Structure 1
């Protein structure tokens, strides 16, 4: 009989699968946005994910208290803002750039914890490596988002709208993770996951007119993107992530997480034939090094992960 995989091995493989899916979704969503307006895509994706989680967690949802509702509202707001910025930005930039800029959340979370009020009780203050990682990552962001020959006078004009929106997404996802750190230990995982996605869906329905007149053409690529992003990249990924991190040390989770923009870049090259120039590749490398400084060198600290 074949030997059963240990929980640690299973956690590595499952979390790696989640990272691959998250990386591939940048390309799937970029391609699907030919057939649907960005904010309508988010609404459809989040609504399907909420239905799936509500079915799976229906027993836990019978015992929701006021604290769980408030927590779901807070976390769901930041989650919705992050997705709205990310998808709107993805429609205006490349999938690879979107992935690397979104990856800055791994640097932003420990950077924000320098403010004592934003730290959860079990979160230590950031170390000196956080500052180095932040500097490297933001220098990389400069190279990634600005064309060759950009002067200081035209710096902000040369950065694309999609890149700015995606940076806003990274800030919102960082706030999402910080709010999760304060609430996740007091609310059952099934309740919090379902509530935050339900709140995000409601906010997306409310803010839908901001993106202009919504449109949709139901094509095979759009349907595939909706199924993958709602069921795999959101509903299943939230569940797998919560379980896997119980069996993995922080450094292992960090290494897997830094692979997400790499998978996104490879997928965008293979599927959409997007290429990063030498300058952009240098910026992407600096962002990865900055993430490594922030997450891999400090030991004994829980790693920040984020949904895509």
Structure 2
């Protein structure tokens, strides 16, 4: 499989779109899990997403070869566990802190790609990781104590990094739709098991239902489909750095809706994150893109 430069740019902009969606969800989730159990919220969200995807994409699922089916199930389980840990952590800490700690997958991803795939990570990528981490800290942190919520969220970031690396190795453009549906079904199964023995409770009111539907169809099914397709064309480390724009979008939404005031920390943090993305995606060193894509397609 080869990936043309236009296709790579399309994948990058696709990831930017899904991180914009994710950036709109932190405060929304914080509100909903204050009124229903974390496991109930996640179970209802992903069961709805899985039902829609399995109905719409039954044929692509049936076309998946058995190895790809197994890989998609494994990736879904990893992502589902990450969702549980992140949302439990978010219940205990501020959304801004959760956004920063979750964004630490930008550090874990190149480390895992190097350890598991023996993928060489170019120096500009490590520099971009440092820039993105600094930007995330400026955007999100105003002093933080490392309590149980932070540790849960850090564990979720490691699982998200593992998911990114797995997608980077196994995703193929022709399998993206089927793999997305299977992953969401696996996530739903993990979250349903977490509600045992009582089983999931439904959202308590119309506002909660609206949030769950948005999270299921847009930030769940749609985002998984886009990420799986995009990572068929991007190396894992590059994908992780692009996705660190999530808190930038979260801050932009908060300011535009009047929830937060624009501050120098937002501007400086957002500039660092965008500089990191520019470094690895829009202005790579000569030959870096070719080398990275060759490594990506050889594994």
Q: Same fold (TM over 0.5)?
A: yes
TM range (shorter): 0.7 to 0.9
Q: Secondary structure at the match of 1:34?
A: coil
Q: C-alpha distance in 2, partners of 1:66/1:246?
A: 19
Structure 1 residue 106 corresponds to structure 2 residue 93: no
Kindly tell me: are residues 90 and 274 of structure 1, through their superposed partners in 2, closer, same or farther at Cα, counting changes over 3 Å?
A: farther
Q: CA deviation at 1:53?
A: 0.8
* Cα distance, 1:167 vs structure 2: 1.4
Match 1:128 to one of 118, 123, 126: 123
Task: State the secondary structure of the residue aligned to 1:221.
Answer: helix
State yes or no: 1:36 paired with 2:23.
no
Q: Hey, what's the Cα distance between the residues in 1 that align with 2:136 and 2:11?
A: 31
Q: 1:293 to 1:16 in 2, by over 3 A?
A: closer
C-alpha distance in 1, partners of 2:227/2:52? 16
- Residue in 2 aligned with 1:3? none
Aligned to 2:246: 260
* Superposition TM-score, scaled by structure 2 size: 0.74
Cα offset, 1:209, TM superposition:
4.8
Unaligned runs of 5+ in 1: 1-5, 149-157, 303-308
Alignment of 1:147 onto 2:132: no
1:306 corresponds to which residue?
Answer: none
Aligned residue pairs: how many? 281
Task: Give the superposed CA RMSD.
Answer: 4.2
Match in the other structure for 1:45: 45
CA contact (8 A) 1:36 1:214 kept: no
The CA deviation at 1:182 is 2.7
For 2:43 and 2:24, the matched residues in 1 are separated by 20
Q: Distance in 2 between matches of 1:250 and 1:79?
A: 15
1:206 maps to 193
Q: 1:294 to 1:102 in 2, by over 3 A?
A: farther
Looking at structure 1, the residues matched to 158 and 253 of structure 2 have their Cα atoms a distance apart, in angstroms, of 25
Aligned to 2:71: 71
For residues 233-265 of structure 1, give each alpha carbon's deviation from its aligned partner in whole angstroms, at most 9, with x where no partner exists. 121223344556789999997886343211112
TM-score under structure 1 length normalisation: 0.72
Distance, in Å, in 2 between the alignment partners of 1:24 and 1:265 is 9
* Deviation at residue 67 of structure 1 after TM alignment: 1.3
Compared with structure 1, are the counterparts of its residues 267 and 53 closer, same or farther at alpha carbon in structure 2 (3 Å cutoff)? same
User: Relative to structure 1, is the Cα distance of residues 209 and 288 closer, same or farther in structure 2, using a 3 angstrom cutoff?
Assistant: farther
Q: How far apart are the structure 1 equivalents of 2:108 and 2:162?
A: 9
Q: Does 1:161 align with 2:148?
A: yes
Which has the larger helix fraction? 2
- Offset of residue 59 of structure 1: 1.3
**Partner of residue 178 from structure 1, selected from 161, 165, 169:** 165
**Residue 235 (structure 1) aligned with residue 221 (structure 2):** yes
